[in-house]
Chain A
Amino acid sequence: METFLQQIINGLVLGSMYALVALGYTMVYGIINLINFAHGEILMVGALVSWTVVSALADTGLPGWALMLVALLCAIVVCTLLNFAVERIAYRPLRNAPRLAPLITAMGMSLLLQTLAMIVWKPNPKPFPLLLPSVAIDLGGPVITVTQILILVITVIILGGLLWLVNHTKLGRAMRATAENPRVAGLMGVKPDVVISATFVIGAALAAVAGLMWAANYGTVQHSMGFMPGLKAFTAAVLGGIGNLAGAMLGGVVLGLIEAIGAGYLGDLTGGVLGSHYADIFAFVALILVLTLRPSGLLGERVADRA
């Protein structure tokens, strides 16, 4: 039971990071129907920028939370600018091209960002310093760290904020309208290009937050760290029903829980034949099952055929 609760906590923490990245995927997909393969790399850049800022300011004697805040702001600024540029360079010119063309530029962008990060930050993994007190709070068996609590709280606040933004602001309405039909939205006075740029910027900010969280939670950063979370986040978005914000959140959390519980119990269940290193396949097996049984995802209404 204790392991179970512990894995639930781990799963929720992992899931909330997936959810943040998945939102970026799902918003972009909802509006321009593009799997933005480079989105995971934005998380990586966020983590590496945070690492640079934190190591540069480490000697100033600032408290950990202040360092984290500065790092977060820098990461958000860099990532939003970067994603804005990525959209301008690699996706906007291809708005009316054959569908595969932007997909290939997205893959190229992902490779390019990884390579550039490798040149800028060198390929070796770097330890991310512990910024918050490493006290583990005992919940009568399972433990939770301060960093983990912070991750959960921040995620909930951000998700709430995003839902409010999309449902109750002018920009949110413009986004929904553009997702529905960009041409008609344009006739109604919405500027689709501006809305799309805004979507990329918001998505990048969320990924930057997730990047810092990832670094703080796992304690190491590297140029290749963005790929798997990116892939998993997209899987989460599809699981929840792509194009659907609440779905992306649910998908992220569900995926995190599946992975954590799977990793914790697989060894015992199969008598040691399969171990926790098989954890990565859970995401994909779950994906295949959900898409086979319910092609529109858990909360999706669109038919899979539309893609």
Chain B
Amino acid sequence: MQNNKLFVFLAAAIGLLIVPLFVQQLGNGPVRILDLALLYVMLALGLNIVVGYAGLLDLGYVAFYAVGSYMFALLASPHLSENFESILAMFPGGLHSPLWVIIPLGAGLAGLFGVLLGAPTLKLRGDYLAIVTLGFGEIIRVFLNNLEHPVNITNGPRGIGQIDAIHFFGIDLGKPLEVFGFTLPSVTLYYYLFLALVVFTVIICYRLENSRIGRAWMAIREDEIAAKAMGINTRNLKLLAFGMGATFGGVAGSMFASFQGFVSPESFSLQESVMIVAMVVLGGIGHIPGVILGALLLSALPEVLRYVAGPLQEMTGGRLDAAILRQLLVALAMIGIMLSRPRGLWPAREHGKGAPQPVSK
């Protein structure tokens, strides 16, 4: 049994490592889809800490993603030095902060925002919390959209471009890399970086799930008053859940910024938050393999459908283009999967008692 598990594990690891090598033969597009799917896995796992473990429904998660993205964009693009004399004077060559500065900063700032959001909402539960977090996400988006006047910080709806690619140990992920006479394009390099981060995230999530903290979160999710009575510090733990979830969002955001080379408020709409919540819930809330499945399904499948949308578009006289088809399918998936499997596609086995139950009135 133990051997069998190890075998599956090794096979999966090798599979994940060589997949992009085959996919890249098809061009950069498909690898990009894989990359984005991995980012969504990371986001969904981060949100799963808040929603799945601690039971706090957060509809403003994309705000932290945005904070991480803009943090990276500001510190690794010419934008700041173009708009502020003093920064230009300090860094004549423009800001090109190294990864080791940006990631902790992005993660830390996003985590701080998470705690800031958590603090006033501690008393709230369920739907009230959902609507407050949703409002918080919108507030952040309004600011991103408008903070270009009187001082231009975010460049408003036009967004920030020319963001550096990630570079570390002399490797620049923005350029193709020769390894043993084999060329790895930039997107494949990003794939490996994202894969490493996802594996790291999964390990943290597994460790959390079985730790004292994770168990305390689940106790709060099941019955907050009972948890409090057992001596659990619900305030600190809820703040910690918000903070940790947000941190993952921030890291994923900074990765996104460097991967795209461009950020704008459009990428951080409420629709995006809803999509991430849907990934978590559709996959199987609180269950790591389920959440990963949900994220892969909702992020990669619609992109793949883009390629087959051509004939459909012709059939419907151009009314049903790829973007609309994608939305339609995502909407139908959200409704269809919930109707047939209200606990998600791959729920945790013990989740029968774990899922948040309707309030019996």
Nearest residue in A to B149 (C-beta to C-beta)? Answer: A275
Task: List residues of chain B with CB within 8 A of the CB of A137.
Answer: none
* Interchain CB contact under 8 A, B332 and A112: yes
Minimum CB–CB distance for A153 against chain B, Å:
31
* Interchain CB contact under 8 A, A98 and B359: no
Task: List residues of chain B with CB within 8 A of the CB of A238.
Answer: 128, 131
Task: List residues of chain B with CB within 8 A of the CB of A98.
Answer: 285, 342-343, 355-358
* Interchain CB contact under 8 A, B339 and A93: yes
- Given the interface pairs A104-B338, A107-B334, the reply to whether A305 lies near B327 with Cβ below 8 Å is no
- Given the interface pairs A97-B342, A295-B124, the reply to whether A35 lies near B131 with Cβ below 8 Å is yes
Nearest residue in A to B135 (C-beta to C-beta)? Answer: A284
Q: Does B57 touch A at the CB level, under 8 Å? A: yes
Minimum CB–CB distance for B31 against chain A, Å:
28
* Interchain CB contact under 8 A, A304 and B128: yes
Task: Return the CB mask of A176-203 against B: 1 if under 8 Å, else 0.
Answer: 0000111100000000000000000000
Task: List residues of chain A with CB within 8 A of the CB of B270.
Answer: 227, 231
Task: List residues of chain B with CB within 8 A of the CB of A100.
Answer: 51, 57, 281, 285, 356
Q: Which of B32-40, B136-144, B165-173 interfaces with chain A? A: B136-144
Nearest residue in A to B361 (C-beta to C-beta)? Answer: A181
* Interchain CB contact under 8 A, A115 and B126: no
* Interchain CB contact under 8 A, B128 and A291: yes
Nearest residue in A to B333 (C-beta to C-beta)? Answer: A108
* Interchain CB contact under 8 A, A108 and B338: yes
Task: List residues of chain A with CB within 8 A of the CB of B277.
Answer: 104, 107
- Return the contact of B134 from the options A89, A102, A118, A231 (Cβ within 8 A): A231
Bound complex: CA A78 to CA B235 (Å): 47
Task: List residues of chain A with CB within 8 A of the CB of B278.
Answer: 104, 107-108
Q: For the side of the interface on A, what is the size category?
A: 35 or more
Minimum CB–CB distance for A288 against chain B, Å:
6
Cβ < 8 Å to A, chain B residues 332-347: 332-335, 338-339, 342-343
- Return the contact of A304 from the options B124, B135, B136 (Cβ within 8 A): B124
How many positions in chain B have a CB within 8 Å of any CB in the partner chain?
Answer: 53
Q: Does B127 touch A at the CB level, under 8 Å? A: yes
Q: Does B319 touch A at the CB level, under 8 Å? A: yes
Minimum CB–CB distance for A232 against chain B, Å:
10
Bound complex: CA A283 to CA B132 (Å): 11
Q: Chain A at the B interface: mostly helix, strand, loop or mixed? A: helix
- Given the interface pairs A94-B342, A104-B278, the reply to whether A284 lies near B324 with Cβ below 8 Å is no
Minimum CB–CB distance for A263 against chain B, Å:
12
Nearest residue in B to A284 (C-beta to C-beta)? Answer: B135
A-B contact count (CB 8 A): 158
- Given the interface pairs A99-B356, A112-B332, A295-B124, the reply to whether A287 lies near B132 with Cβ below 8 Å is yes
Task: List residues of chain A with CB within 8 A of the CB of B123.
Answer: 292, 295, 304
Q: Does B121 touch A at the CB level, under 8 Å? A: yes
Q: Does A109 touch B at the CB level, under 8 Å? A: yes
Q: Chain B at the A interface: mostly helix, strand, loop or mixed? A: helix
* Interchain CB contact under 8 A, B136 and A101: no
* Interchain CB contact under 8 A, B324 and A108: no
Task: List residues of chain B with CB within 8 A of the CB of A118.
Answer: 324, 327
Q: Does B320 touch A at the CB level, under 8 Å? A: yes
- Return the contact of B331 from the options A103, A112, A231 (Cβ within 8 A): A112
Task: List residues of chain A with CB within 8 A of the CB of B334.
Answer: 104-105, 107-108, 111
Cβ < 8 Å to A, chain B residues 100-120: 120
* Interchain CB contact under 8 A, A285 and B356: no
Q: Does A63 touch B at the CB level, under 8 Å? A: no
Task: Return the CB mask of A229-248 against B: 1 if under 8 Å, else 0.
Answer: 00100110010000000000
Cβ < 8 Å to B, chain A residues 116-133: 116, 118-119, 122
Q: Does B328 touch A at the CB level, under 8 Å? A: yes
- Given the interface pairs A96-B358, A100-B57, A115-B331, the reply to whether A288 lies near B135 with Cβ below 8 Å is yes
Task: List residues of chain A with CB within 8 A of the CB of B332.
Answer: 108, 112
Q: Does B237 touch A at the CB level, under 8 Å? A: no
Nearest residue in B to A113 (C-beta to C-beta)? Answer: B331
Q: Does A217 touch B at the CB level, under 8 Å? A: no
Minimum CB–CB distance for B296 against chain A, Å:
17
Task: List residues of chain B with CB within 8 A of the CB of A89.
Answer: 335
Cβ < 8 Å to A, chain B residues 236-263: none
> Interface of B with A (CB < 8 Å)?
51, 57, 120-121, 123-128, 130-132, 134-136, 138-139, 142-143, 145-146, 149-150, 270-271, 274, 277-278, 281-282, 285, 319-320, 324, 327-328, 330-335, 338-339, 342-343, 355-359, 361
Q: Please name 5 pairs of A and B residues whose Cβ atoms are closer than 8 Å in the assembled complex, sorted by A.
A: A108-B333, A111-B330, A111-B331, A112-B332, A287-B132
Please provide the 3 A-B residue pairs with the shortest distance between their CB atoms, ordered closest to farther: A108-B334, A284-B135, A97-B342
Additional 13 contacts, C-beta under 8 A, given A33-B359, A96-B358, A100-B281 = A89-B335, A97-B342, A99-B357, A108-B335, A111-B327, A115-B331, A119-B319, A180-B361, A277-B142, A278-B146, A281-B143, A287-B132, A288-B136
